[in-house]
């Protein structure tokens, strides 16, 4: 499915700011006709379609949405927020972001503050997909993104960890790799278990034997270094490693280099998360599974807009397909 064209894309194509593009598309503000025409032409060329529901809402009131996160570093919540802003209409609808820091009391405080500011909806996000207690019944709709509510009546939007792993292993198999190991995070995390299950399922689908058992440990470079040594001792002929995170993969790359294994010549390497500081800082740069955090935010915000506009709320869990970003760690 092609990525939806956003107002950011239109602004970039027209060579203007997002705010200027927003004014041109909505017939607001004092702009030169040449500028307005350039924006409209870019929108037409790219096939941009403004969110009509958002425009209707804005016509009647100031529209704000709260985003409450437990991801203090912003590694997951910021991409989710950017995707949500694209769906809500960049430059038109305000998003208030609050950091709950995994503290239920702090989170409740921020939710009450957001309600006092008369937000029209709330997106709850985090850095783990394990079920968490819901925020309870509120006078506004709530959607969970990159985290999952334990209440089945809530809508939770999360990445397809299992499918992303299958995608990674199929890529390695297509390269002709036949002894593919797996190193991942703690078994207590559902994401680690699902990624290991995807690795095993893709190998079984191809009739290939796994290179040893999956190695569960920590989400860290140090664990990647240690686990790579364990894997090389157990399966000396391993020719590919799929890792449950980019941090782990970077540690694996260090040990492989120290042991004289060329990447990807001797051992191809794939990570998970597409966390660019890690993936691009790896040597060589890392092929990795992209969980499409921006799309997760877009899907969550679109559902929020629909419910605010009168559509029925749909609960349950919705998974967003992952992608694969190819870099030198698997290229010949």
Domains and CATH numbers, the chain: 1-50 (1.10.260.40), 52-159+293-321 (3.40.50.2300), 161-291 (3.40.50.2300)
Which pLDDT score, from 0 to 100, does residue 25 have?
Answer: 77
Omega cis (within 30) before 212: no
Percentage with pLDDT > 90 across the chain = 63
For the whole model, what pTM was predicted? 0.79
What are the start-end ranges of the H helices in 137-245? Answer: 161-174, 190-206, 221-234
Chain segment 57-100, per-residue pLDDT in tens: 555 454 788 999 988 777 888 899 889 888 887 556 778 888 88
- Categorize the per-residue pLDDT at 161 as very low, low, confident or very high, splitting at 50, 70 and 90: very high
Q: pLDDT tens-digit profile of 233-278? A: 999 999 999 999 999 999 999 999 999 999 999 999 999 999 999 9
Spatial contact of 286 and 329, defined as CB atoms under 8 Å apart: yes
Angstrom distance (rounded) from CA 153 to CA 315? 5
pLDDT of residue 60: 47
Q: What is the DSSP letter of 16?
A: S
Distance between CA 34 and CA 107 in Å, rounded? 47
| Cα–Cα distance measured from residue 271 to residue 290, given in angstroms and rounded to the nearest whole number | 9
Tens digits of residue pLDDT in 180-200: 999 999 999 999 999 999 999
Give the contacts of 213 (CB within 8 A, at least 6 positions apart): none
Q: Determine the Cα–Cα distance for residues 244 and 302; give it in Å rounded to an integer.
A: 29
pLDDT score of 119 more than 70: yes
Coil, strand, or helix at residue 240?
A: strand
Mean pLDDT of the chain, nearest integer? 90
In angstroms, the Cα distances linking 223 to 239, 244, 281, 304 are 19, 11, 17, 39
Integer Cα distance of 325 and 249 in angstroms: 14
């Amino acid at each position: 499915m092609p990525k939806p064209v956003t107002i950011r894309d239109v602004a970039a194509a027209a060579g203007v700011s997002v705010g200027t593009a927003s004014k041109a598309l909505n017939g607001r503000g004092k702009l030169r006709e040449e500028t307005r025409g350039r924006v409209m032409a870019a929108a037409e060329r790219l096939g941009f379609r403004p969110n009509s529901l958002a425009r209707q809402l804005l016509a009647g009131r100031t529209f704000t949405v709260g985003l409450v996160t437990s991801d203090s570093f912003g590694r997951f919540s910021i991409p989710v927020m950017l995707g949500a802003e694209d769906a809500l209409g960049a430059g038109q609808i305000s998003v208030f972001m609050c950091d709950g820091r995994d503290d239920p009391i702090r989170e409740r405080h921020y939710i009450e503050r957001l309600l006092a500011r008369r937000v029209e909806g709330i997106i709850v996000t985090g850095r783990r997909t394990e079920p968490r207690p819901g925020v309870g019944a509120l006078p506004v709709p709530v959607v969970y993104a990159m985290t999952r509510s334990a209440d089945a009546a809530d809508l939770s939007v999360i990445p397809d960890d299992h499918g992303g792993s299958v995608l990674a292993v199929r890529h390695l198999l297509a390269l002709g790799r036949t002894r593919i190991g797996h190193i991942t995070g703690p078994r207590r995390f559902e994401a680690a278990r699902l990624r290991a299950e995807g690795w095993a399922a893709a190998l079984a689908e191809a009739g290939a034997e796994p290179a040893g058992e999956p190695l569960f440990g920590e989400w860290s470079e140090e664990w990647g270094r240690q686990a790579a040594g364990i894997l090389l001792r157990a399966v000396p002929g391993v020719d590919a490693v799929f890792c449950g995170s980019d941090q782990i993969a970077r540690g694996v790359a260090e040990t492989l280099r120290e042991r004289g294994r060329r990447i990807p010549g001797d051992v191809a390497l794939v990570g998970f998360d597409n966390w660019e500081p890690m993936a691009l800082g790896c040597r060589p740069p890392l092929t990795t599974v992209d969980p499409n955090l921006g799309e997760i935010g877009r899907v969550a915000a679109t559902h929020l807009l629909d419910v605010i506009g009168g559509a029925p709320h749909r609960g349950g869990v919705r998974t967003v397909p992952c992608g694969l970003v190819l870099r030198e760690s698997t290229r010949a």
